[in-house]
């Protein structure tokens, strides 16, 4: 089955640096696709080539079956693009910006108020964009990319400047857009975001895609042990070493950390010992996946 987005051999070089290195990618219609990777991995360059904003040195990309480069006017009404560095028309208010975008796409004006409401900017509608906070500007740029109800939405680190509440609101908005059948592609540094939203995640580093899979499958594939930690005052390392299922016991900053492959057995014994106060359980995360794929800690 062919995808709504198909990229083959996409490559971009800046001098000696290969920013994107022969990337093949398929995104199926209606999916929520994440691109995860540290600074400089090539995420923005890859997306911009797919969107038709940057000319590839090699390779091709199609969206909805049409080549995206050279810039394809057919495709534009179907695409919503939020750039990492957003630029607005000068001296316009938030509402005027959004209205300008609506006019460009021939969208009814009532949609402008709906979008302002959706991204929580109704009360800032009359503020000039240069007077908005970083997070408010980011929400406005997301609204601008969605105002024409595009089929395929690209968002480059959409939650980077958002506070936790705005981030959750945006997650809900993006999930709803995806549930309505739209394809969403987003880049992020946040593992929790990728885990919460994406059907598939491409882990990228040094211009290459290292793996593509469901976030949960990536984590499961690691078969990593569980870490259980407790304050040292509740459980000493000495006593923890007597736990039958403990693989390893460490002391870290006032905590006793037990590594185990049988968390149920450890937790049962801890309950019998009445040593559960302050307990924290941590399974593997996508950060561990990155560490395994690259041999390096994730550096966002
Ligand atoms: N116009 C350019 N000229 C020269 N080098 C560039 C240019 N754009 C990007 N690069 C380089 O290409 C590499 C990939 O950059 P890119 O912006 O795609 O990374 P990214 O994964 O989006 O990073 P971030 O998480 O910081 O947004 C980086 O090393 C960057 O310095
Ligand atoms: Mg980027």
3-state secondary structure of 207: coil
Ligand number, closest to the Cα atom of 10: 1
Which atom of ligand 1 is found nearest the CA of 42? 18
Ligand number, closest to the Cα atom of 53: 1
pLDDT band at 149 (very low <50, low <70, confident <90, very high): very high
% pLDDT > 70, the chain: 99
Q: Which residues line ligand 1 (CB under 6 A)?
A: 14, 17, 19, 37, 39-45, 84
- For residues 256 and 123, membership in a common domain is answered with no
Q: What is the pLDDT of residue 300?
A: 62
pLDDT band at 224 (very low <50, low <70, confident <90, very high): confident
Q: What is the pLDDT of residue 110?
A: 93
% pLDDT > 90, the chain: 70
Domain count across the chain? 2
Nearest CA to ligand 1 atom 18: 42
Question: Does residue 130 belong to any structural domain of this protein?
Answer: yes
- For residues 241 and 179, membership in a common domain is answered with no
Given a cut of 60, whether residue 108 has pLDDT beyond it is: yes
* pLDDT 10s digits, 56-96: 999 999 999 999 998 888 898 999 999 877 778 888 999 99
Pocket test for ligand 1, best of 16, 19, 209 (most atoms within 8 A of CB): 19
Which residues pair with residue 58 across a beta bridge? 11
To the nearest whole number, what is the mean pLDDT of the chain?
92
- For residues 262 and 121, membership in a common domain is answered with no
Question: Does residue 143 belong to any structural domain of this protein?
Answer: yes
At 243, which CATH number?
3.30.70.240
- For residues 119 and 249, membership in a common domain is answered with no
Ligand 2 centroid–CA 39 distance in Å is 7
Nearest CA to ligand 1 atom 7: 14
Angular region, 120: left φ>0, alpha ψ -120 to 50, beta rest: left
Give the end of a domain, one of 166, 193, 214: 214
- For residues 50 and 105, membership in a common domain is answered with yes
- For residues 136 and 236, membership in a common domain is answered with no
- For residues 136 and 253, membership in a common domain is answered with no
Ligand 1 centroid–CA 14 distance in Å is 9
What the block records as the tokens of 289 is 């996946």
Which atom of ligand 1 is found nearest the CA of 48? 18
Ligand number, closest to the Cα atom of 20: 1
Range of the domain at 83: 5-214
b/e burial code for range 127-159 (CB count within 10 A of at least 16 → b)? bebeebeebbbbbbbbbbbbbbbbbbbbbbbbb
- For residues 146 and 46, membership in a common domain is answered with yes
CB 115 within 8 A of CB 98: yes
Which stretches does DSSP call E strand in the chain?
5-14, 17-27, 32-36, 58-63, 66-67, 79-82, 152-156, 183-188, 200-205, 208-213, 226-231, 246-252, 255-260, 280-282
Residue that has been written with the tokens 């857009």 in this structure: 177
- For residues 17 and 131, membership in a common domain is answered with yes
Given a cut of 90, whether residue 198 has pLDDT beyond it is: yes
- For residues 239 and 156, membership in a common domain is answered with no
Helix 110-118 vs helix 134-146: crossing angle, to nearest 10: 140
Question: Does residue 52 belong to any structural domain of this protein?
Answer: yes
- For residues 179 and 205, membership in a common domain is answered with yes
Question: Does residue 69 belong to any structural domain of this protein?
Answer: yes
At 124, which CATH number?
3.40.50.300
pTM: predicted TM-score of the whole model, two decimal places: 0.85
* pLDDT 10s digits, 113-143: 999 998 999 999 999 999 999 889 989 999 9
Question: Does residue 40 belong to any structural domain of this protein?
Answer: yes
Given a cut of 70, whether residue 299 has pLDDT beyond it is: no
Question: Does residue 288 belong to any structural domain of this protein?
Answer: no
- For residues 262 and 161, membership in a common domain is answered with no
Question: Does residue 36 belong to any structural domain of this protein?
Answer: yes
Which stretches does DSSP call E strand in 121-207?
152-156, 183-188, 200-205
Question: Using CA atoms, how far apart are residues 60 and 48, in angstroms rounded to an integer?
Answer: 12
Question: Does residue 23 belong to any structural domain of this protein?
Answer: yes
Give the end of a domain, one of 214, 241, 268: 214
* pLDDT 10s digits, 24-58: 999 999 999 999 988 899 999 999 999 999 999 99
């Amino acid at each position: 089955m062919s995808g709504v987005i198909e990229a083959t051999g996409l490559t971009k070089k800046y001098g000696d640096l290969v920013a994107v290195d022969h990337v093949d990618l398929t995104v199926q219609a209606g999916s929520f696709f994440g691109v995860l990777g540290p600074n400089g991995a090539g995420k923005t360059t890859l997306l911009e080539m797919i969107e038709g904003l940057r000319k590839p040195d090699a390779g091709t990309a199609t969206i909805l079956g049409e080549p995206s480069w050279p810039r394809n006017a057919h495709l534009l009404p179907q695409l919503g693009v939020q750039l990492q560095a957003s630029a607005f028309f000068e001296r316009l208010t938030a509402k005027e910006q959004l209205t300008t975008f609506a006019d460009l796409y021939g969208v009814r004006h009532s949609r402008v108020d709906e979008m302002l409401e959706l991204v929580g900017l109704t009360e800032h509608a009359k503020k000039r964009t240069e007077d908005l906070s970083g997070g408010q500007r980011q929400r406005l740029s997301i609204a601008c990319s969605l105002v024409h109800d595009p089929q395929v939405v690209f968002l480059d680190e959409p939650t980077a400047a958002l506070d936790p509440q705005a981030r959750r609101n945006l997650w809900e908005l993006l999930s709803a857009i995806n549930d309505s059948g739209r394809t969403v592609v987003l880049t992020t540094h946040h593992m929790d975001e990728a885990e919460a939203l994406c059907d598939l995640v491409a882990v990228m580093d040094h211009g290459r895609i290292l793996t593509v899979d469901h976030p949960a499958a990536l984590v499961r594939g690691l078969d990593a042990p569980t870490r259980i930690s407790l304050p040292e005052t509740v459980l000493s390392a000495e006593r923890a070493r007597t736990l039958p299922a403990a693989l390893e016991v460490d002391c870290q900053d006032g905590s006793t950390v037990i590594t185990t492959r049988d968390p149920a057995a450890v937790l049962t014994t801890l309950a019998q010992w009445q040593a559960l106060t302050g307990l924290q359980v941590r399974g593997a995360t996508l950060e561990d996946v990155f560490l395994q794929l690259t041999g390096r800690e994730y550096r966002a």
